[in-house]
Structure 1
């Protein structure tokens, strides 16, 4: 049996993680909105800025979107001449930024990535070293807990 103090600490940590997630999501949402982008368009541009020419299935994962949402976003981005899709085969296609899309990503995503890097560098080195391990461990343990439900 866990002590009330341990439960209180765990509850406080859970609340903090949830608040962090909500605030982080809101930060990116507001940034995208200020730049005239929907969340899904922003996510696609960000993912392709990081690695252009992703397969659509990869892009679902890196943009954190389900297939249907990604398909709708890609359709809109194609009409805006920001992305193009090239078929590798009947079943495999890759998504690329167009020249206009690359310029948009350079103007919008590149400065955001620099702000992310600056925020990370503001952390003390010992925290910076621990953060990936802590976050990975938390997600792995939470995922295993969800799987067991």
Structure 2
């Protein structure tokens, strides 16, 4: 393999790890687990109905992790579950008024910091970063699918 590709891949992995570590540090400083912070973050401005299954897919968490985290957020009064019609166990997940207030206090400063950091890049740099990140992720998913299919067929 081309040494520059190895080096670039390693740098990208390190950067992703550093970014994830910053989110972890922030969550812990606010008394939240990473899954709880990510779930609350998602529920702040939902794009339609969100279920526990949706959250598991969005954040690549096992369903058990999402369920456990949601139950803890329900106990704290931050989240509520509502049965959806047509599904025997499908429930929507949403913030309560207490949860909305908590997110404004705890997560809005995080979102503002994210936005300030992105605004330090030019609009073109931001667009390119998003485009290339999505493209590389799609290519990597394709490579992993090929490898897992080959393994299944062997």
- Provide TM-score, normalisation by structure 2: 0.87
State the 1:30 CA deviation: 0.5
Selected match of 1:25 from 17, 20, 25: 20
Selected match of 1:54 from 26, 30, 50: 50
> Which structure 1 residue ranges, 5 or more long, are not aligned?
none
Alignment partner, residue 38 of structure 1: 33
RMSD after superposition: 1.5
Q: Which runs of 4+ in 1 moved over 2 A?
A: 61-64
- Provide TM-score, normalisation by structure 1: 0.90
**Correspondences of 1:1-149 after superposition (within 5 Å):** 7-51=2-46, 53-89=49-85, 90-149=88-147
> Which structure 2 residue ranges, 5 or more long, are not aligned?
148-154
Which digits, 9 at most, give the CA deviation of each residue in 1:93-123, with x for residues without a partner? 1001111111111111111111111111101
1:87, 1:94 within 8 Å by CA — same for their partners in 2? Answer: yes
* Aligned mates of 2:3, 2:132 — CA distance in 1: 19
Which digits, 9 at most, give the CA deviation of each residue in 1:35-56, with x for residues without a partner? 1111111111111013174122
- How many residue pairs were aligned? 144
